[in-house]
Amino acid sequence: MAIDFSLNPEQLALQRDCREFAQRHLRGVASAFKHLPTPGERYLATQPIYEEVVRAGFLRRMIPRPFGGEGNGLLDMAIVTEEFHSVDANVSLTLLSSLLGLMPIFLGGSPGQLERLVQPFLELRGTPVASLCNSEPGGSANYGAPAPAVGVRTTAQIEGGDWVINGEKKWMNAGGWDGKGADLLCVVCRTDPQAPPSSSISLIAVEKPTQGFELVELLDTMGNRAHPAPRFRLNNVRAPKGNLIGPEGQGKDIIDASFTSTAALVGIMGVGLMRAAFEFALNFARTEKRGGAKPIIEHQAVGYALADAKATLEAARYLGWAACDAMDRQTPGAPELALHSKIFGSEASVQVITQLMGVVGIDSYDHELPLASLLQDALVLPLFDGGNMGVRRRQMHELMMQPDYDPRAASTTVST
């Protein structure tokens, strides 16, 4: 089979639509929140723009066709991610975090759950957000570790036909626009505190809590300044018994699969940020003399830096595309490729943007130019959606320790 990295006509149309929309609507996001002092105010300033994203059908186009959307899988999601993230990471993250919030429903939801819970996100109106509520204060990297590890501390018990959930979570966009809870929360909890994680971690869907959701604070993060990072409590939050996603106690596999499915998109986020940084630095080098006689692009060191940045950018993109395509076709090495994309693309973005700041010089440290903000947004990529240190130590290490691990599987083109 020939290797073909070209996009089909439908994907090219999607790319064009995303690029035009981003230039028209996302270009002004930074100025909309630039002078607002609090995370909540900055987030609310993006709501009208996110509403335009929904109205234009991009949330619907991210949801795969089997679940009622118009998307053809992760490769379509990668196209949207790069085009949006290259212009604004904040609204882009609101869109992508909602996609992650829906992922457990896609992977483990019953037909009835899929029809009922996904439907609000298919509408071309409003500003629906979903959240996968996994991380907890104190960290959740070892959420599946057996005793004496603490693991997941949020609990859920059946009372009168409902799940009653108690616990504290952090980081994911779960507060919604009003701070009272997102439209859909997929809550990771322990449904049998006495059982080991392999048989006690469950996922429960909570539809817009009417009571019991307490927003403790919105963290004032270094980057993604207009995308919320909340700390919140669930105090006797109730959800119908039928909102259990998948079998009780078997949620770990769904959670792991949710993060693996979106891992490659984190690498593509890095591609978007690198692309924005490269295009700015290239134009800067072509037009700025910095007190010299010629534009600085004519200096050999600048040419080398730009060439290295572009090579890394292209490598990260094609690795991400290959990973998304492999996940869509369920090839044997797809999970490994997705993790490679996450690690490589996220870490490359930090390195490349830093190097391009060297091309521009001290002015790049000023927020009047975009590179400082791009670096701030990039720094989170190696840390979230499973930190790269943990991804290497757990997923990659465990994968390679398996007796049947095939080091050539990641390059296969044969579907299972």
What digits encode the pLDDT tens for the residues 38-54?
A: 999 999 999 999 999 99
pLDDT at 361 over 70: yes
Domain(s) of CATH 1.20.140.10: residues in the chain: 252-411
pLDDT at 416 over 50: no
If you classify domain 252-411 with CATH, what class do you get?
mainly alpha
User: In the 8-state DSSP scheme, what is residue 297?
Assistant: G
pTM over 0.75? The answer is: yes
Backbone angles phi, psi at 312, to 5 degrees: -65, -40
Residues 315, 317: Cα–Cα separation, whole Å: 5
Domain(s) of CATH 2.40.110.10: residues in the chain: 130-249
Buried b / exposed e over 308-346, threshold 16 CB at 10 Å, is ebeebbeebbebbbbbbbbbbeebebbbbbbbbbbbbbb
Q: What is the mean pLDDT of residues 377-401?
A: 87
Residues 91, 72: Cα–Cα separation, whole Å: 22
Contact partners, residue 311, CB within 8 Å, separation at least 6: none
Structure tokens at 416: 């299972």
Beta carbons of 330 and 253 less than 8 angstroms apart:
no
Mean of the per-residue pLDDT values for the chain?
93
Lowest mean pLDDT segment, chosen from 48-57, 145-154, 291-300: 145-154
Residue 146's pLDDT band, with cuts at 50, 70 and 90, is confident
pLDDT at 1 over 70: no
Domain(s) of CATH 1.10.540.10: residues in the chain: 9-121
Fold of 9-121: Butyryl-Coa Dehydrogenase, subunit A; domain 1 (1.10.540)
Beta partners for 214? 233
Q: What is the mean pLDDT of residues 318-333?
A: 93
Q: What is the mean pLDDT of residues 97-101?
A: 96
Beta carbons of 336 and 396 less than 8 angstroms apart:
yes
Beta carbons of 225 and 155 less than 8 angstroms apart:
no
Residues with active-site annotation: 385
Tell me yes or no: is domain 130-249 CATH 3.30.70.60. Answer: no
- C-alpha closest to that of 155 among 172, 142, 174, 136: 136
Residues 113, 205: Cα–Cα separation, whole Å: 9
DSSP conformation letters of 217-255 = EE---SS-TTS--EEEEEEEEEEEGGGEESSTTBHHHHH
